[in-house]
C-alpha cells in the first residue's frame, strides 16, 4: 500500500468512528482483567469484604463490561431526539 492509500484509509476510518460516536453506537471495550488489575490498589484499601468483592463488578457495570443491554425504549428516545 502506498502512503496515499494508507492516509486515505486512516482518514476514512477516523471519520467512521466519529460518525458512530455521533449516532451513539460507538462502544469502546476494556478487558475485564485490565480493569481488575487497575482497581487492585483501590479494592485492597477497602476494609469491608463485601464492598471489596462487589467493587469490580459495580465498576464493570458502570462502564459497560457487565454485558447489560440497551433498553429498546432508550434507543428509540435517542433516535427521536436526533431527528
Residue with cell 482497581: 39
Give, as one character, the DSSP assignment of residue 71.
-
Which of 28-32, 53-57, 67-71, 75-79 has the highest mean predicted lDDT (pLDDT)?
Answer: 53-57
Mean pLDDT, rounded, of the chain = 76
pLDDT per position as a tens digit, 13-49: 989 988 988 888 877 766 667 788 888 888 888 888 8
3-state secondary structure at position 68? coil
Residue with cell 431526539: 81
Amino acid at each position: 500500500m502506498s502512503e496515499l492509500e494508507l492516509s486515505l484509509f486512516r482518514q476514512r476510518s477516523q471519520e467512521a468512528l466519529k460518525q458512530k460516536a455521533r449516532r451513539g453506537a460507538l462502544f469502546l471495550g476494556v478487558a475485564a482483567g485490565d480493569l481488575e488489575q487497575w482497581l487492585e490498589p483501590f479494592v485492597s484499601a477497602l476494609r469491608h469484604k463485601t464492598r471489596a468483592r462487589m467493587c469490580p463488578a459495580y465498576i464493570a457495570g458502570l462502564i459497560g463490561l457487565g454485558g447489560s443491554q440497551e433498553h429498546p425504549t432508550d434507543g428509540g428516545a435517542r433516535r427521536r431526539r436526533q431527528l
